[in-house]
Every structure is written in C-alpha cells, then in structure tokens.
Amino acid sequence: MVDAGISAERPAPLGARLRKDDRREQIVLELRLRPHVRPGELAERFAVSTETVRRDVEALAAEGLVARSHGGATPPAQGRYPGLDERGAARVAERERIGRRAAALVRPGDTVMIDSGSTTLQFARFLAYAGTPCTVLTNSLPVAMALSHADVRVMLCPGDYLPEEAAVVGTDTVDFIARHHATRCMIGASGLTEDGPCEAVRGFAAVKRAMIRRSAAAHLLVDSDKLGRPGLADVAALRDLASVVVDAAPGAGLGRALARAKVEVQLAQ
C-alpha cells in the first residue's frame, strides 16, 4: 500500500500474463498513481482483451475499490465502500458455494457467532436450509431474519445501528459478545493477506476480533477476489483462524502463509 506523502513509481509494463487477482491488484495500484485509466491501455499492458479489463473494472467497482467512468476507471470517492446490498449483488454464485460449504461445518447443539456481511448472510441461509439445531449470536439483522424460521435460537447483539450494513457495532456490541462463549464463529472480511484478514467497514474489525476471542474455532468466509487485498483495519493474525472457506485456491505466497499458520483451506467448488 502506498502511504500518503510517499512517492511511488508507476509500474513497468508487464511482459507475461498475470493471474486475475494479480491483474486487478495492478489496476488498483495504477489508479493510486493516475486519476484515470482506459480499458485499451490496460488491455495492452496486461496482454488481455478489453472485455477482460472491463470485467475486472466491474468486479473492482462492485467491491468499492475503483469507480467506473465513461471510457475507463477512476479512483473511488474518498471513504467510499459499497454497502451490504451492493456487495451482495456481486459474485453471488461464489458466495453461495462458500455459504453452503461453511454451513456443513456446524453441528447440532453448536453455538455459532456470525458477523455481518454478504458472504456470512449466504452461510446463514444455507444453515437455515440445512435445519441444524443450534444457537446463533449475531450483530446482523439480515442474518437474524434468515434464521428466524429455522430450528435456531437467535441472539441479536445491541449496539449502534449502521443502516447501510443493517448491522450494529460499537462498545455495547463488543461487550455483549464478550459475555458469551461459542463453539465457532463465522466471519467475513474485506481482504485477506499474509498478515491476516482485514476490514474496511467502520466498527466491523472490533466485532470480528471479539467473536474470534470468544470462539473455540474461527472460520473465515471469503471469496477469492479478496485474496491478497489489504484493508483499512487488521482483524487478526492468520494463526487465529481455524480455517478459510474460499471458492478458489489462494496464490502461492498466501497459501504458504496459511500452511505455516496451520490454517485449513476449505475449497467451496
């Protein structure tokens, strides 16, 4: 990440094709150095079609990392991060596969902490469909509603309400979590690097940390577009996770870091 006040050189042209995640990371980096990029020049730089670049830009825009503009892409508005509904409309099939795989980890009688997010919401829906009797503690209204007709006891956290996330955060939320124990927690993240999961939504990192501390096992549910992506606030170290449920295998560097931390990678394919 390029810090304010520190200059950075523009990336040199790439001779070999990059993996999708690496290519999108380069696009974000390019927009830190320039106010606007065009699909044609990016396609030439990465040796791919302009249609591929447009799909990259659309995916990055859905995650709030770039803004689409006429004829290309620009940096996102300062502080702009897409809300729950906007994020939930992107990569739906991948999130569904992750949610289904994660729901299979829950056993009858478990107590499960679930944080707010588009991927954890898919998990809640598949948990309800599976009919596994358990207790759920969550800070997310959509998660609570998804489980309302299932054989699940739902405990909703108190706290300060974030309308764009339909969730609560703050000291009351963290204190409430700290008074409970869980068999496992299911959390999402805005990114996952070799340093661990990270978060961009205000107040979410503290909630996730509290859930990890109070759970016997922590499972990170994250789609592969977020692998290698840094975020605003660190959530935890890799060693604090029991597993990562993801729709595609991590790259070599992150894969080695997960293996060293003894984190199980569960592929939802």
| φ and ψ of 74, to 5 deg | -130, 165
pLDDT-derived band at 6 (thresholds 50, 70, 90) equals very low
Q: How far apart are CA 257 and CA 239, in angstroms?
A: 10
C-alpha 269/C-alpha 261 separation (Å) is 23
Closest C-alpha among 231, 189, 223 to residue 209: 189
Euclidean distance between CA atoms 192 and 10, whole angstroms: 24
The C-alpha atoms of residue 45 and residue 55 are separated, in whole angstroms, by 16
Give the β-pairing of 134-138 and 152-156: parallel
pTM of the predicted structure, to 2 decimals: 0.70
**What pLDDT, on the 0 to 100 scale, is given for residue 62?**
62
The average pLDDT across 75-95 equals 64
Start-to-end Cα distance in the chain: 31
Instruction: Give the CA-trace dihedral at 154, 158, 164, 165, to 10 degrees.
Output: -40
User: Where, residue-wise, is CATH 3.40.50.10470 in the chain?
Assistant: 86-267
Share of the chain above pLDDT 90, in %: 60
Kindly report the number of other CB atoms within 10 A of residue 243's CB atom.
Answer: 18
| Residue 232 pLDDT | 79
CB neighbour list of residue 55: distance below 8 Å, 6 or more residues apart: none
Q: Where in the chain is the domain with CATH 1.10.10.10?
A: 1-80
Residue 152 CA to residue 128 CA, distance in Å, equals 8
Judge whether residue 213 has pLDDT over 90.
Answer: yes
Architecture category of domain 86-267 in CATH = 3-Layer(aba) Sandwich (3.40)
- What percentage of the chain carries pLDDT values higher than 70? 83
Q: Give pairs for 29-35: CB < 8 Å, separation 24+.
A: 29/2, 31/66, 31/73, 31/74, 31/75, 32/2, 32/8, 32/75, 33/2, 33/8, 34/10, 35/74, 35/75
Phi (first) and psi of residue 153, to 5 degrees: -85, 120
Say whether pLDDT at 233 is over 50: yes
Task: Give the residue with greater pLDDT, 85 vs 265.
Answer: 265
> How many CB atoms neighbour CB 268 within 10 A?
20
Evaluate whether the domain defined by 1-80 bears CATH number 1.10.10.10: yes
